[in-house]
Amino acid sequence: MTELLSPAGNFEKMKMAFLYGADAVYLAGERFGMRAAAGNFTLEELDRAVEYAHARGKKLYLALNTLPREPEYPALREYLRQLAAMPSGVPDGVIAADIGVMMQVREYLPGTALHVSTQAGVVSSASALAWHRLGASRVVLAREVSLAEIREIRRALPPEVEIEAFVHGSMCVSFSGRCLLSNALVGRDANRGACAQPCRWNYTIREEKRPDTPLPVEQTEDGTFIMSSKDLCMIEHVPALMDAGISSFKIEGRMKSAYYTAVVTNAYRAVMDAYIKNREHYVFDERWQRELDSVSHREYCTGYFFDSPSDNAQVCTRPGYLREKAYLAVCLGYDAAGGTAVFVQRNKVSVGETVEILSPGHPGRGFVIGKMTDSEGNDIPSAPHPFMEFAVPVPFAVKEGDIMRSAGMG
């Protein structure tokens, strides 16, 4: 069975990932993860996260995927000792890119599965087998590997070697994320979790004798000079990916919102389940593509699954994000007798507004808010305050954790 692996930048995002269908999540502690700016987990939070995941039969993988320098190893060893002593147990797996880190993990967490990060640049079965001989049970393939190559790699590997592949989310213009641009420009090492994403910045050219007349580097009809990569989206190709023998589908996005985590996880879960249920007569449901269009993203592409890096650089034709539907509230409970649901506010919502409810296993379902009451039962025209609780009649059953969002793009 193919695993669906979702990002968890903090505890709320982890809960959303599991609620909306993830089999496992990947996250990081306060150090040694490649997303240093994400919320991340303290040691105490990580202990609670392990307990939360295992109580639900889910798995949790810890990213230790930076490339630490020599002075950082004493702190790494101490962190591994602390992980080994957590009351709730250790993570199910550790994702690492550096062979030195991997050997430390084997020493201090001998019972934990070792997953080789995409930053290790695994592009062949020979490389995957070499890592397996060093103790890895899974390799996260380089994003530059094509679908045809994945099939060949899978056929060449023994069944016990799992392969994981990114299927959705942001991509890096550098090979497997190995980039020096951030460090060179602002002194923030991308390979130690502090990438400033200078590939997403806007640039200008200055002619030597006219320094006060900058020329923008921009998209024209002749092409683009922007380094910002498009976002990966393989939702329409889930059957081909499953048939290729990929063990785990990975969604990128530990820096994204809890709403993003819920929507994307929900879409891939639904499509995977639909194909498993009826492989012979499976037809892709376009509603799930529309769900992915509703979250903040750059232009979508299929990465290098069908195009080689030399054929297609997969860079954006326009800067910035395509805007998402506004994340308005989360359901706290539902009174079936009265048909009324209680929500906690995330963004302002008002009477007369057309909204949608996102539920696990369902695309958005819309209705118009005809009435709102506060926590004391008083009629109110809107819920303007963060985290205030309010109740609205909903024309269909909802559950705790369902998301209210705007019907149009925010």
Query: In CATH, what number is assigned to the domain containing residue 354?
Result: 2.40.30.10
Domain membership of residue 68 (yes or no) is yes
118 and 252 belong to one structural domain: yes
- Domain stop point among 265, 286, 301: 301
Domain boundary among 301, 317, 346: 301
Q: State how far the Cα of 119 lies from the Cα of 175, in Å rounded to an integer.
A: 8
60: closest CA among 26, 15, 102?
26
pLDDT class of 338 with cuts at 50, 70, 90: very high
**Is position 124 within any domain?**
yes
- Is 206 contained in some domain? no
* Cα angle 283-284-286, degrees, rounded to a multiple of 5: 135
CATH number of the domain that residue 159 is part of: 3.20.20.70
Calpha distance 290→12 (Å, rounded): 24
Q: Specify whether 106 is located in the same domain as 236.
A: yes
In this model, does residue 372 exceed pLDDT 60? yes
Task: Specify whether the CB–CB gap between 161 and 270 falls below 8 A.
Answer: no
Residues 57 and 141 in one domain: yes
CA atoms within 13 A on the CB side of 176: 17
Residue 372 contacts residue 352 (beta carbons within 8 Å): no
My answer on whether 18 and 152 are in the same domain is: yes
CA distance 369 to 237: 37
Decide if pLDDT at 228 tops 90: no
Cα–Cα distances (Å) from 287 to 185, 267, 280, 291, in that order, read: 42, 9, 20, 6
Same domain, 19 and 56: yes
Backbone angles phi, psi at 299, to 5 degrees: -55, 140
Nearest to 245 by CA among 136, 143, 151: 151
Q: Mark whether 16 and 140 lie in a shared domain.
A: yes
Q: What is the mean pLDDT of residues 12-41?
A: 88
Q: Tens of pLDDT along 74-90?
A: 999 999 999 999 999 99
The three-class DSSP label of residue 178 is coil
Q: What is the Cβ-side half-sphere exposure of residue 22, based on CA atoms within 13 angstroms? A: 27
Closest CA to 139 of 162, 168, 106: 162
* 138-142, 181-185, 267-271, 272-276: segment of lowest average pLDDT: 181-185
Are 283 and 329 in a shared domain? no
For residues 251 and 264, the answer to whether their CB atoms sit within 8 Å is yes
Is the separation of the CB atoms in 133 and 219 below 8 Å? no
Where a domain ends, among 254, 285, 301?
301
Quote the tokens at residue 163.
């392969």
Domain presence at residue 63: yes
Which residue in this structure is represented by tokens 């979790």?
Answer: 193
Hey, is 368 helix, strand or coil? Answer: strand
What single string gives the DSSP state of each residue in 199-241?
Answer: GGS--EEEETTEEEEEEE---BTTB----PBPEEE-GGGHHHH
Same domain, 165 and 292: yes
pLDDT tens digits, one per residue of 181-191: 666 667 776 66
Counting the structural domains of the chain, the total is: 2
Same domain, yes or no, for 150 and 232?
yes
- d(CA 326, CA 404) in angstroms, rounded, equals 9
Q: Flag whether 342 is in a domain.
A: yes
Contact 102, 136 (CB under 8 A): yes
Condensed to tens digits (0 to 9), the pLDDT of residues 38-61 reads: 568 999 999 999 999 999 999 999
What span, in angstroms and rounded, lies between the C-alpha atoms of 308 and 318? 22
Examine residue 195 and state whether it is found in any structural domain, yes or no. no
User: 123-130, long-range: CB within 8 Å, 24+ apart, which pairs?
Assistant: 123/149, 124/153, 125/152, 125/153, 125/156, 125/157, 128/153, 128/157, 128/161, 128/163, 129/157, 129/161
Please report which confidence band the pLDDT of residue 282 belongs to, taking 50, 70 and 90 as the band edges.
very high
Can you give the residue range of the structural domain that contains 373?
Answer: 325-409
User: What interhelical angle do 99-108 and 73-84 show, nearest 10?
Assistant: 30
In a domain, 13, yes or no: yes
* CA dihedral for 311, 264, 6, 387, sign (positive or negative): positive
**Is 373 within a domain?**
yes
Based on the domain organization, do 39 and 148 belong to the same domain?
A: yes
Burial (0-12, 13-18, 19+ Cβ within 10 Å), 300: middle
Residue 199 reports pLDDT greater than 90: no
**234 and 342, same structural domain?**
no
Predicted TM-score (pTM) of this structure: 0.88
CB 232 within 8 A of CB 143: yes
Contacts of 386 (CB under 8 A, 6+ apart): 345, 346
245 and 154, same domain (yes or no): yes
- pLDDT confidence of 408, banded at 50, 70, 90? confident
